[in-house]
Structure 1
Amino acid sequence: MKLSEYVEYDAIGLASLVSAGEVTPLELTRLAREAHDEVNPRVNAVIEFYEDAETVAGADAGPFSGVPFLRKDIGAAEAGRLEEQGSRLFKGHRSNADSYFFRRARDAGLRTLGRTTTPEFGISGFSESILNGITGNPWDLGRTAGGSSAGAAAAVAAGIAPIAHGSDGGGSLRTPAAWCGLVGLNPSRGRISGGPNNQDGKFGLSRQFVLCRTVRDMAAALDVFSGPHPGDPFVIIQPNRPYLEELAQPTDTLRVGVARTKWGEVETEPDVLQAVEATAALLEGMGHIVEDIEPPYEPAEYSSILLGLSDLGASSLETAARAMGRTISADTLEPVNLKLYERGRNLPLSHPGHLQEAIRRMRFRVGEAVHAFDILVTPTMPTVALPHGGIYCATNPTLSAEEYMEADAALYQYVGVFNVTGQPSVSLPLAQSTSGLPIGVQIVGRSGDEVTLVRIARDLEEAQPWSKRRPTVQAGAADSHL
């Protein structure tokens, strides 16, 4: 298999070739390494391609048998591997326990070959950190790949691996999916266990999953990673059949709420709004009932929750630094994160209770506003991928902690709200701007109803296919003409 052929397959397609004996897992690992060596110097998506990549464990059978996989450098961990969280404070830190997520990855046949970039502590939606530098968007290297699953998205878009681990605490899967032309699902709260060390991260706002290129890979990944483990604090209803089988099931007539107005301070670009309008028209043509929906929350509600969660993390950060024999300073933390840490150092004992109540109020308010709809259609992001730098980066020394969180809430206005509510939401690469940049459209389901999202995502992929679109930087481009 040539590299130009490797990049044409999704993860299920590669696994099928392995099962048929047409290619071996070792060959796929070497192709991933070849892809990495060709494009990673340009995109800076993978910060470590494992030296022992050719011998990493993975089941010989399973839906993803032999498929190359990558780990985001924060979130689900691999025992003994580096996990530096994009921060100088954690440089050289190794995890001491395997996450349930990566146990399931190995059982499904995935070969985890390396780790990908993330902004420090995953706090920023922009793809840069002092520790690891800038990750470029394969569609335009001068623009951000999004965040915080920055390297994962850039690596998949550029063809290093067909699927990669990511996590989403406020849009961190969906934002890079939208800006890099990928499928990015943030599952329902409770769908994917965060165990054994982080079962309900950030009051349930943060979840682990993957970035990929096709709906069938998304469905297969749900089958692999879904399900509770003993000790999980929050367990939701399990599906009646495998999600892959849902791809063959009809979609019921749905009541669809469409967001045609902005939900935050940043204006929605005309190309993005046109993509939402086109998706709404497509769904209406399929027989669904389409209605407009007004903004279901106030931006100040969300930015206050972001600040509260950051405040709550100050003591745990101090504990981690002390355990490593390190100090927190401008030499170990980026400017915004240092300000957030200093703000949260002296919390009143009542703070967690107040934060929990703020989350409850917002969840209730949004829940009432969207209850009448089976799905929502919104922009994933109000803009196409933005140039690197600026007010959305935690490396920016000019912003206060409050200013940074207000800017974050303004730009990520359509995504973070559904981390608070716990609803599943997927960004689909349904359109492109007039300049050729990807535009993601977000489909939001009822809590626990990934089944409907799988079916409607399949319908939209069939009606508006995106598989032939390719970024400027992609592995194998040279040998595709040989």
Structure 2
Amino acid sequence: MATSDLTELYARSDALELAMLVRQRQVTPVELLDTAIAIVEALNPRLNAMVIETFDLARKAALNPPVGTFGGVPFFLKNIGSMWRGTSLTNGLSYMRDFVCDHDSDMVSRIKAAGFLLLGRTNAPEGGWSIGTEPRLYGPTLNPWNPEITSGGSSGGAGAAVAARMVPLAEASDGGGSIRVPASCCGLVGLKPSRGRITYGPETVDLWHGSIATLCVTRTVRDTAAYLDSVAGSVPGDPYIAPMPISPWLSQLAIPPKGLRIGYALKQPWGEPYAPEVMDSLQATLRLCANLGHHVEQHELSVSLEAAWLHYNVINAVETAADFDRLAGVSGRPVEQQELAPFNWSLLEYGRSLSAIDYAHGIAAVRKASQEIAKDLAAYDVFITPTLTQTPRPVGYWSMEDGDLKRYLHRWSDAGYLFGFNMSGLPAMSVPVAETHSGIPVGVQLVGRYGDEATLLRLAHTMEQELHWDKRRPPISAP
């Protein structure tokens, strides 16, 4: 096959299609890898999506990839959290510049077993607590739809890479919207699964009381479903175990949902009202759901998300301080102020100032808000909100060089509907339902009952068949 033909085939195919071509021996894993590397080398200087390169390791793996669902498909890990033995992991921090993983996390073992070829790691903000991706260490990731606007965060490098067709899907993680925000900004599908769906093992038992989830960003719902089938599961001792579905999530996509009861929110949690184009996208989504035969009704959350957000950041600050204490044991010295962006230093200092009683009160308040959210939405099969209440912000808006903790956290009102489903453990996903007048993607968030990713995936799949978002391609993309 000619190089140009293979590049176009690679760019238009999702991961399952590429894996099928490998199984049918129409292409080889080496050919797919060479194509992916050529695209990365051409586009990454413009987007800064990949920051740690492991091409040589991928080339070795391509000679004999595991026979898994995604055998031979190129893939990126995120530069936060996931341990991959023998490779660098910095979490976007200059303080961790010399850190090398000494083992594989359970998640990475499952990713390898699925057959992926790991090309490297994608950019993420320093420490991850931002919905933009602009770390000092690597510089900002730019959005392939418009380089002047954010690609989102914290999985912004993954979002840009997948949208630009460097890889068909990439690892992403989410503690307050970090899968769903890049999915919305970059026109992708981003599912945050239920609490306990993905194990933190073996090195970690729990993260933020089960509020952080790892999965992926993709261009198609079926890739998300198949990826979830490949990596979901627990290990002995996990504190949360989500119920497994009666059949694989991928196979359930063949059954369109019928007569769902869908609630939706029209009021901004705090901050600015919905941007007009966000409201238009939400209304269009609700009309589509009604036309598909579902019952749609307005329902505003009774819990104060703004108050819950402040309590959630008590947990975040204390856990951040504890993380840096642990890192000091690994690096042999404590982090210094000049090694952190001003926001992260402020967050660290805030965490150190809080008492055990403050932390206990924060946990209690978050758990109570989580209970109220779950009770409030119990009557609905799906609850719909905007993913972001505003259109994507300019590059620099989410810069962590702002050391005013209160002011920076208030800016998260754009994502005010996201963190509540980290706290409550409910599954939530962003789907790219529309574009602005200037061609920038807009996502809506679908929220489901605990353990019921299947309904979200089935509804999203029917929406994808109507809207054909998988066919859209940004100006900066392969070939």
Same structural fold, with TM-score higher than 0.5 when normalized by the shorter chain: yes
Q: Does 1:385 align with 2:377?
A: no
2:276 equivalent in structure 1 = 270
Aligned pair 1:39/2:29, yes or no? Answer: no
Structure 1 unaligned regions, length at least 5: 477-482
Structure 2 residue aligned with 1:71, among 59, 63, 77?
77
Q: Which residue of 2 aligns with 1:56?
A: 61
Instruction: Report whether the alignment pairs 1:245 with 2:251.
Output: yes
Q: CA deviation at 1:59?
A: 4.1
Identity value in percent: 38
Does the CA contact (< 8 Å) of 1:339 and 1:401 recur in 2? yes
Give, as a single letter, the amino acid of the residue that structure 2 aligns with 1:440.
G
Segment of structure 1 superposing worse, 82-91 or 339-348: 339-348
Separation (CA, whole Å) in 2 of partners of 1:216 and 1:106: 19
**How far does residue 322 in structure 1 lie from its aligned partner after superposition?**
4.2
Partner of 2:7 in structure 1? Answer: 3
Q: Which amino acid aligns with 1:54?
A: R
Cα deviations across residues 261-307 of structure 1 (Å, max 9, x unaligned)? 21221321111111111111111111111100113422122122123
Specify which of 149, 158, 161 is matched with residue 164 of structure 2.
Answer: 158
Does the CA contact (< 8 Å) of 1:43 and 1:154 recur in 2?
yes
Q: Which of 448, 465, 475 is 2:478 aligned to?
A: 475
Structure-2 separation of matches of 1:311 and 1:198: 17
**Counterparts of residues 406-425 of structure 1 (less than 5 Å):** 406-408=410-412, 410-425=413-428
> What aligned pairs does 1:59-458 form with structure 2 within 5 A after superposition?
59-298=65-304, 299-390=306-397, 392-396=398-402, 399-408=403-412, 410-458=413-461
- Give the CA deviation at 1:248: 1.2
SS of 2:44 mapped into structure 1? helix
Q: 1:51 to 1:218 in 2, by over 3 A?
A: closer
| Distance in 1, Cα, partners of 2:411 & 2:9 | 42
* Structure 2 stretches lacking a partner, 5+ long: none
Query: Secondary structure in 2 aligned to 1:56?
Result: helix
Cα displacement string for residues 114-152 of structure 1 (whole angstroms, at most 9, x for unaligned residues): 101000111111110100101000000011100000111
CA RMSD of aligned residues (A): 1.4
**Which segment is superposed worse, 179-188 or 105-114?**
105-114
Counterpart selection for 2:466 from 463, 468, 474: 463
The more displaced of 13-22 and 70-79 is 70-79
Measured at CA, do residues 301 and 283 of structure 1 come closer, stay the same or move farther in structure 2, by a change above 3 Å?
same
Residue deviations 1:185-212, cap 9 Å, x none?
0000011111112332111110110111
**Partners in 2 of 1:329 and 1:347 — Cα distance?**
20
Residue 480 of structure 1 corresponds to which residue in structure 2?
A: none
User: How far apart in 2 are the matches of 1:56 and 1:132?
Assistant: 27
Q: What CA deviation, in whole Å up to 9, does each residue of 1:73-102 have, x standing for no partner?
A: 002221121110001111121122211111
Give the number of equivalent residue pairs: 472
